[in-house]
Chains A and B, each alone.
Chain A
């Protein structure tokens, strides 16, 4: 008993927070920026250089060219969408928001914001946005000068809109092409005063679709006669359009070398000419890239740190290699060929150049830096857009997994003798674990083959992204194990399309192995939609069905449904998934006879609630299963109930409960009475919001029984004037936690704040039980629910929420939340106990039995409970938890923009000694006690002898 207390005393304080030494050992964090939207721009800061990229994840970032790390990034809010980015000298100007209403200017080297300003925006959507010199901002028909000498210029009536802003030594020009009036609108403005110098309109041929501006020329192609036309911009706007029609021109490409007067003209025969604007508005061809053997080329231009211009042409050859030619007026042509594997990274989408260094971005979101033919670094930015993710346990080591059940004595003896060769390694690992602790033991397995560690901390994360790629990630260190790109099946050859992952399941595979099953929607460019299933080996990314031998090809799936997927459910206690198609037919996966039999067996007991689209929005509808051979040879889901919501309220989200083993069926209170948990396994949470047709705006939360559609708990929440309700919730066993903003607290004694509410559902009052977990789904007693709830002020907005999960469910469940200030935080269950007494102290019995704390309105923001500690985990969209082999520990993975993985022990690591367990103290104490015994033993013996002698004497 004393020894136990001693051990507890040694372990106790360690469970509160993590130590600095554990950073990067028990967790990892991957900072991401998202898939680039535009060509990366090199910028030199002294001897260093950065690559500036705006991304589809609404992020503006600068990457270090030496190692690809993020020098700085600015994460724009979702509502503040990035519209235009211009890198100019040492600053980056970014326009964002509705109509490009907000201008921010960043220092390129540090990312510090030097200006943030709201600009005048036109009514309606903007037709053209541009920034020049970090101080002139064009938005359709108005130009704003920001900073010193501010002015606003508005286009005269019937002029504009404009889309390009050009600042030359002579004047400031606005140029716009109007497809309605078939003309070029021009305006020259005094940059100092903002007064109009001249406005003009030049009539163009009707089929001209776009133009570029280089130096002081506006250049475009006349597609009918395939001529190159250009107009010099002079303050008086009196110049006339000049035409070059000796060659047949197809297109002009802006390579971002406007000041240098360089651009590219593509000819009808496939040649591409580098053109330079000379004095007096004359265009001269300075170089010709000969026609290439692949599809359309990508052109890019850039300056090196000495100001020399470079222009590159990139194309993919017939043998799928990437070929690049670099031209510089000052140097000879450089050619390089390298392989950007289209089966791993997709196709090249953008190109940036700095001398011989090339930054390329791909369709799956990969950013790569190449120098000549050498790959310097790669960033997989597709991971910033993960759609589905699952943690998969690693298999046992082969020698353990392959022990036959009926092994003979001889073979067992031989096996054990052969296993002794591993003894030295085992002894060394044991010694290391004894000295170093758990973390070191796991860390040593990082370089080892992918096999299960003693504690199950090391698993494989299988994720699928919105850009049609899948990754396997090692949870030990966050390294990417494999990358695959989804194939398009029949649409791949000529049609084209995209793959959108919808669900991921982990099913038992061959032997002890687990398979990852990704259910995805394939949207072909011709409008056809199919549901495809990719069944892959999580360790290698290799396709299992269909069997794949060569992983160097695209990952092909199994076309399961001709049409979209409506819902997917795993069949409990089996490895079968039910996929519901648009005709409500049940398609079991894998499509085997055994699956069909299983479905037939359980169909009468299956009730599937899922979202169904109606004219007025999505609704939750409950379904039963039946087989009607007149209609279909498959089971059909038929409607049994619909959730009746108030008028104008629509469903936004359906939250399924976190499923895990239930250990305790009741809560024993301090006075030895019991509250029995309402454990209806068919419950789920529905989040709703009101539409314009609702009598008053608001949000709703309902806990619904999946069999009958009866509402077990509901609450109306304020909408706070927002178009989209921001309610987060998580549900497990009988415990619901939700978070919302209460912005209507202007009454006396009220306030506006974020609130977190904890609700526990019980079968009734004290000692009342109905055996809800064993009850028939149609029993009337199932409607007897007694909610206990309490609300707390929470200091932060929450973007995602879940509960921890452990192997046997014995460990306390804590809530994990991702907050707006880029943290992942753990809230202990004790703090969210709805029985925390108000206006009194908990009794000694309550403290002892229930660990009750007195109620406090404000939930403390304890930084030691921030499991992401110093990491800035940006824009978390979802958190998943999975059990480790240790009952005390739960694995936590959050994704959104950044990835973050850690493990938590809600009830402390009671089943394993922590790394910081004071082993030296234990050893010294045992040694001290041994020494004491060694000293006192002869003394005691002597004393006894003396006493016996005295007695006998």
Chain B
């Protein structure tokens, strides 16, 4: 069990701690000096007391007192240097691991996110990284400190009185053995607590996010029951752990006191027999007192190591998985022009549900600068087709091509820069409207134009600070439609060769939709465009429309042709026109 811990911890240390070696070397040197001083002081004191017993005719005790005072001042320097030298790299490593994790998370793809709740990922970047920091700072310090303190104290004790030293060490060894007995169970309990806490956090987060629904359905009590179940689980594990702590802590304190008992019981008579001096006996008590801190820290250290092992493993679960669909060694540069896209016999199922085929043998040709409409019932695979084309998910075969090139061979970053994909669910960040639209791209004078295109002008004018209004978490300051139109503006503002709108136009009224579509058609540099919509009016002007049903293409053609062909497209068209003849 311990071997596994050591392996995990060492692997991490090699990767992250090596750059800070000079810090640690400095820290160890300062620690060695500190501990050397700490074990020297009792010796000097013993000498002073023994000298006093003899009457101190030469007044050398004053010199010895000055010696001790100087050592005390020296400790101030070495102690602070050692602590700073260990804690600073701990903090630097913490920041580094956080950065690496966040960087990795930004690059992980949808398949990864399908498996991980956001709350879990956030807790890995905070509480787990905390343990990593404890290991790199406090843990490293305590290991070195305990080793040095124990070694130097033992040496000093053996120097003074070897016979007594052995007896004094005995209870310590017993106490540690006792603590080790509990460590595995303790570790299990910590795991249980963490799991219960994670479940609790997830429940709390999801109920706060869904508070509107909970209140609307008077479901507060039902949610409290679910909450209390996890709360009690967490409490049970915490209480068990508290029992262990209540046993281990006092036992370690007991071993410290047993030292003093043995010292008096065995050392007292030795002093009487003159085998050691009174000063040396006192020095022993000081040494025991000094080493009791590092000794107690050993049980704590074991806990830190076990917990950081778990934490490092949890961090590695994010760092280790390959970024899905890594770019090929020599990716082909993405073209800046509107692409000619061919989808040829595309079948697809999500990795988490391989038996559930979402797309079956989809074939469609999308010439450059043309507009493709996608139509189909709820759950027919429309969004999935978009995701495969935009390479949010990798097709298994070379069935999606941009200008004849397998999409999987194209440089992903370049490809993404060419695509303006506006997803069905608008996600806004708690930044200003302006930043939400631009998302880091340059304004280039296009901002005003896209605000007009997305019909956001009057909405923005009504906001307290216009474009610079902070929209709050997930854009709570805006209505559902305003959020979606902001997301639409975000897509339109950047230069793009391929525009993908996933049921976005349902958020704009028909007039805006018509304006937008007209403007896109008349644009000099028309991008290749793919529009998913339930509303036929949004599709009517597309060059061709694909009808998807249960993942299969059941019809393809322009609007005029489809409305004369029996099928769901015509049925829908009829239905949507019904209102006109009331």
Q: Do A and B come from one complex?
A: no
